Amino acid sequence: MGTPINIIAGSTIWVEDPKLAWIDGQVIKIKGHEAEIETSDGKKVVAKLSNLHPKDMEAPPAGVDDMTKLSYLHEPGVLRNLRTRYEFNEIYTYTGNILIAINPFQRLPHLYDSHMMQQYKGAPLGELSPHVFAVADVAYRAMINEGKSNSILVSGESGAGKTETTKMLMQYLAYLGGRSSTEGRTVEQQVLESNPVLEAFGNAKTVRNNNSSRFGKFVEIQFDKRGRISGAAIRTYLLERSRVCQVNDPERNYHCFYMLCAAPQEEIEKYKLGSPKLFHYLNQSKCFDLVGVSDAQDYLATRRAMDIVGITEKEQEAIFRVVAAILHLGNIDFAKGKEIDSSVIKDDKSRFHLNIVSGLLMCDAHALEDALLKRVMITPEEVIKRSLDPLNATVSRDGLAKTIYSRLFDWLVDKINVSIGQDPNSKSLIGVLDIYGFESFKHNSFEQFCINFTNEKLQQHFNQHVFKMEQEEYTKEKIDWSYIQFVDNQDVLDLIEKKPGGIIALLDEACMFPKSTHETFASKLYQTYKNHKRLLKPKLSRTDFIISHYAGEVLYQSDQFLDKNKDYMVPEHQDLVTSSKCPFVAGLFPPVDEETPKSSNKSSKFSSIASRFKSQLQQLMEILSSTEPHYIRCIKPNNHLKPAIFENVNILQQLRCGGVLEAIRISCAGFPTRRPFFEFINRFGLLAPEALQGNYDDKVACKKILEKKGLKGYQIGKTKVFLRAGQMAELDARRAEVLSRAAKIVQRRVRTHCARKQFIALREAAECIQASLRGNLACKLLDKMRREAASIKIQKNTRKYQARNKYNKLRVSILALQMTLRTMAARKECLIRRQNKVATLIQSQWRCHRASSYYKNLRKASVVTQCRWRGRLAKQELRKLKMASRETGALKEAKDKLQKQVEDLSLRLQLEKRLRTDIEEAKAQEIAKLQTSVQAMGNKIDETNSLLAKERKALRQALEEAPPVVKETQVLVEDTEKINSLKVEVENFKALFEAEKQRADESDGKLVEAHELNEERRKKLDDSDKKILLFQESLNRLEEKIANLESENQVLRQQAVSIASNKFASGRQRSILQRGSESGHFVDTHYRDLHSPSMNHREAEVEEKPQKSLNEKQQENQELLIQCIMQPLGFTGNRPIAACIIYKCLLHWRSFEVERTSIFDRIIQTIGHAIEAQDNNDILAYWLSNASTLLLLLQHTLKATSAAGMAPQRRRTSSATLFGRMSQSFRGIPHGVSLAFANNGMTGDIDSLRQVEAKYPALLFKQQLTAYVEKIYGMIRDNLKKEISPVLGLCIQAPRTSRASLVKGSSRSVANTAAQQELIAHWQAIVKSLGTFLNTLKGNHVPPFLVRKVFTQILSFINVQLFNSLLLRRECCSFSNGEYVKAGLAELEHWCYLATEEYAGSAWDELKHIRQAIGFLIIHQKPKKSLDEISHYLCPVLSIQQLYRIGTMYWDDRYGTHSVSSEVISSLRVLMMEEANGAVSTSFLLDDDSSIPFSVDDISKSMEKTDVSDIEPPPLIRENSGFSFLLARAD
């Protein structure tokens, strides 16, 4: 597509490579028409300039989703884009409206779940990422809107994923127009359930695929007028019948043959089967088994599929008998007979198989032999039987086998169609064509010829469609395209099918002549088309021929063309099969009407497979021509059938075979490059800067740029610039030159800056060196001066040292002399003092001894005196006791004394027990006393120390003042003794103090430990108490809930039981008796009066008389209440009047305690009628406020008991009426409660409301009210979603005007301001809707709890929609778009701030996914971010799949920066593969939560208490006397 002019030295180009097909490189130099190139792998090659293609260096790193957006639409550009997207698991890519699907060879469940279907539903083609769902949605929308049938053509070679793509198409179409669940299995399910049957009988192993479909399948999905699927039909085309008899190695025959050979043993014995190696139709190839496939299991699965489809056991047995008969039929061999050109059964083995075939087909063995060996010729004169030679007999045998198998396959298809069901009244359908692709092998026979003929036909249809799409694009843009020529392959089709003289006609002609061979056919073909450019003759073969198809040249071997083409039905075969005793076998061949011998003769007219093939193909083309086509091209990335392997050469060949490159040629014939104005200006605006000055028009600017560069042949449409082939490369070359000049200017400036910087650095270095040298000289001079000063100082110190030494020696000598003299004087004085001290010590010791001896003697004498006196007294007492013992009463006295002693001891024991407790209590007091005593003792010691210090000081003064005389020695000794005694006493006190202190410390430590242990236990006790209280509260709530649920469930169960006929009088008495027992004294005093016969009689009379009038009055009051609440009553404060009035009336009428009443149903119906207008949010908010308040009051009032759980077995006579309930209320007043309270039934505070034992109607009313609160809440939430949904689609992507303004310079600041206002307008519309909605809810006093829940779910909905759109649309994952969405999120955050936490709550946290995703888009230096930093700090909420998708789809349209590094992408891919291999695979899309996020308990806990006492009744009921109880409380 590029031209040699555009290739210059330094250009980055694509060059052909034998291994990689195309490889990128850089042009080193150009010589004439050749260029030397250095490839990316380091090699240097030389290639012609005409064979080079320019490489787009500005292509997005993740590729483009539509290849028409490529700057260079050529083979290497297409291949590179597909490879790039495949590496990112983007398996779908558009080429215009053609979808290219590359088989990933792995499960990608997140691409096909219900979330993805919901996203593509109704989305225009190209708005979201390419997907098979998008093609199906476009076909469905076109069928619904235009009323025209559509078709989807799925093509590709074996293993490319055609069948799986077809399944996905049918799943999505069933999702759009599926039947309801009550109608049983969907059409899509039935079609998919038939796949195992069709695959067993129509699929076989080929060279490239183990499960290749050898027939074309066209599934017609029929729709009714409402767009719902009403039926379906499967049309099969072009079954490869020749495979039944001829199989090439290493392929296999159809799967059903091998399945039957692997069937259970009883089946094998019944059909006389064995190993596949024993049958001629199977052992032509050495491949019998498939790796990883069990034919035995597949046989059982096929039988199960037949059961599902509706094939009976008898029919299944007949089907497999026919399959076994075909296998045995292939083992019948023939030999020459005795006559000329005759044949017979070869041997006993062949005779054995002949008998088995006749038994399986239930026909006569002799008739079967005649049908195989003879032919009947009918002439006007006679009927002639002609024998066949062995070769023709073999052909006859194979013809019978192919015909039977073909009829069997057609019967299966018809049976499946009957099972699925067709709609004869359907006028719209979507057809899905699954057909084999172009085939070119090493050996190509008749099958490849037919398949390639089919693909030539489809390619012509495809080319016409592509050219039509090009015409529509050009017409839409209003450009001239009349001179563009259409690329057509009609000459190839004429070569094959033209009559007379086409290849098919020549082949049929050769088959009709008995002596024709493939050599005569080939020679005839060469002679007829010797000058045809599409038919070539090989040099080394006489029977082969080459056809130049659109996908390339294919060499065909014609040696088996004639045998495989023969398909006429022999009358003998027809008669044989129709004479079968098996109805199934006979039904495969409907009888031919015998009219005349002439008609019988015509019935044996020759027919061929090629002719039938051609007619079926013509029918298929007619169907496709009557529909609007859509194309899906399936690609197999490698022949290893493994993921992540992309073989360039293989894929390029498939692109040629699939017609994708042909479509590119068609586009290149016109305008292959088309760019929107803003993208063109953004890329090439620098070629003409003057065209972008001022307020310019995009179209005019583009025209000026093209005119300035002198391009010819381009076209400018309404929104795009259309360039011819090569012009984009020329503009890029010019752009590269401008950028090169700009780069040189930048380089010149940079080099100047570098040189100047280097000069300044050198100058600074020279100055630094000079300063260093000068400093060195100054240092040397300073060192010299320091040395001189140091020498002078040393001399001075030396002289000083010498003089000081002399002085010190003299001083030491004098001091030594003085010390000697003073020592002698001191020794003399010390000797005198020692003598005096020894004398004094001797005196003190003597006096002490004398005093001690006197004291001991005196004590001894006193002890002796005392002992003698006490002995004397004891003797006197002994004498008295001896006299007393002799008396008679002495024993009794002793006994009494002993008894008293025992009593005293017992009392003392009790006292000791009491004292022990007192002692233990006193220990703490003793510790405190010890502490105080220790403190006092410490104070005393301090005082003693101070006194001792004073005495010592006084003693020293006295010693210094007193002269040393001998007569004062006594005083000194006494003071010394006193001091010593005081020291000993102080030491004792210190020891005692230390002991007491240690004891006190131990006591303090124990006390502290006891306090700590006590505090810890107290804390644990408090925590335990708190937990017990919490558990008790939760237990009470759970018990209350369980009681309510049990009672309600019991009521519901008991309602089914028949009500007993006896009355409820005894129950009435029991209830009054129970109330009396509960009420206490008040009821006890009146019990006899209330139940006396006279009282009962009077009560019955009083109740019977006003019974009718009271019921009517009650109905009038209820009707008035309903009329009142139907009007908007408004609010008192923040309390809804209607809810409070309803509650007070129901409580006063005691409606909660009756078994039957209609007031609850009427209230519910009133609420239901009021909210019928779902779009009026004001009414919905009003009733949500009333319903939630009333539900809160009921929640606190109603109490379910065992009585409520019992069904009303006996009807009450009086309590069901108004009078009876009023009288019951008077009788049931508890003791201590005033009559006024009984009349009003309530007080001001809700805590003081008495709980009512609710009956079944009240509990049911509560449940219905709960349901209506949830319903109204959901309607309000859904209304807000509907209101903001249209604007949300505009909020995810910034308008293109803003992107275009980025390249138009600063002169358009005013326009940019207007653009910014336009950008933020969508977000402001959402904020305005939220604000209006909030004011509506506030105005109707909706509880803040419910308001928070609404806005939490709404912001979650915004988060889901924005985030899913971001992941599905690559154009949204850009830097500028991230800034746009960030500005909008800032508006939402400001609104949440203004709404306050009371109403917004934590709604802002619901936007965490889109906030983190947008934060990732606008963050800088993404390649430097690690996976850990991204997944744990930047985007911790996002999953691995979401991070991978954003990372691969990101593109910077402002600064041209790159996404995260390739290492991060690889790590994400590995983690994503690990998650995909797990048991559960999640989708990368978010799911919108539409559930009700609260319960009745949540409402009761969150809402404030409501005071209903001072509610003013409305005027309608204020004047009515029946509602006077409302006025009493209001006053």
> What value, to the nearest 5°, has the Cα angle with vertex 597 and ends 596 and 603?
95
SS3 233: strand
SS3 1243: coil
Catalytic residue among 95, 209, 358, 1044: 209
CA 312/CA 315 separation, integer angstroms: 5
Side-chain half-sphere exposure of 211, counting CA atoms within 13 A: 16
Establish whether 163 is a catalytic residue. Answer: yes
Residue 171: what residue type? Answer: Q
Taking Cα atoms as reference points, which of 169, 330, 317, 154 lies closest to residue 254? Answer: 330
Establish whether 1274 is a catalytic residue. Answer: no
Establish whether 437 is a catalytic residue. Answer: yes
CA 939/CA 890 separation, integer angstroms: 61
Q: Taking the alpha carbons of 603, 604, 609, 611 in that order, is the dihedral positive or negative?
A: negative
Distances (CA, A) of 841 to 827, 833, 846: 21, 12, 9
Radius of gyration in angstroms for the set of CA atoms belonging to the chain, rounded to a whole number: 57
**162 known ligand binder:** yes
CA 725/CA 70 separation, integer angstroms: 12
Catalytic residue among 96, 202, 437, 1241: 437
E strands in 68-223: 92-95, 98-102, 150-155, 203-204, 212-213, 216-223
Residue 630 bridge partners (DSSP): 152
The length of the chain in residues reads 1531
Establish whether 1462 is a catalytic residue. Answer: no
SS3 1217: coil
Residue 454: what residue type? Answer: T
Name every residue whose Cβ is closer than 8 Å to that of residue 1101 and which is 6 or more positions away in sequence. Answer: none
CB-based burial label for 470 (10 Å; 0-12, 13-18, 19+) = buried
Give the strand order in the sheet containing 229-237: 92-95, 98-102, 628-635, 150-155, 428-434, 216-223, 229-237
CB-based burial label for 1209 (10 Å; 0-12, 13-18, 19+) = middle
Establish whether 212 is a catalytic residue. Answer: yes
**159 known ligand binder:** yes
What the block records as the tokens of 526 is 């060469």
Catalytic residue among 75, 199, 220, 439: 439
Side-chain half-sphere exposure of 106, counting CA atoms within 13 A: 19
What the block records as the tokens of 235 is 């049309």
What the block records as the tokens of 1152 is 């909660």
**161 known ligand binder:** yes
**798 known ligand binder:** no
Catalytic residue among 6, 81, 95, 212: 212
SS3 329: helix
Taking Cα atoms as reference points, which of 455, 458, 433, 421 lies closest to residue 169? Answer: 433
Catalytic residue among 163, 358, 463, 608: 163
CA 731/CA 2 separation, integer angstroms: 11
Distances (CA, A) of 504 to 243, 494, 496, 521: 20, 10, 6, 11
- First-to-final CA distance of the chain: 95
Catalytic residue among 213, 489, 1197, 1356: 213
Q: How many CB atoms lie within 10 A of CB 556?
A: 22
Establish whether 213 is a catalytic residue. Answer: yes
Q: How many CB atoms lie within 10 A of CB 984?
A: 10
**158 known ligand binder:** yes
Q: Are strands 229-237 and 216-223 parallel, antiparallel or unpaired?
A: antiparallel
Helices (H), 1292-1404: 1296-1301, 1309-1339, 1344-1368, 1375-1400
Catalytic residue among 158, 452, 1157, 1483: 158
Establish whether 209 is a catalytic residue. Answer: yes
Catalytic residue among 159, 177, 502, 1447: 159
Taking Cα atoms as reference points, which of 159, 167, 75 lies closest to residue 636? Answer: 159
CA 1337/CA 1317 separation, integer angstroms: 29
> What value, to the nearest 5°, has the Cα angle with vertex 1003 and ends 997 and 1005?
105
E strand or H helix at 495: helix 490-497
CA 603/CA 605 separation, integer angstroms: 5
Q: How many CB atoms lie within 10 A of CB 1083?
A: 21
Establish whether 1133 is a catalytic residue. Answer: no
Binding-site residue set for ATP? 156-163
Binding-site residue set? 156-163
- Enzyme catalytic residues: 158-159, 163, 209, 212-213, 437, 439
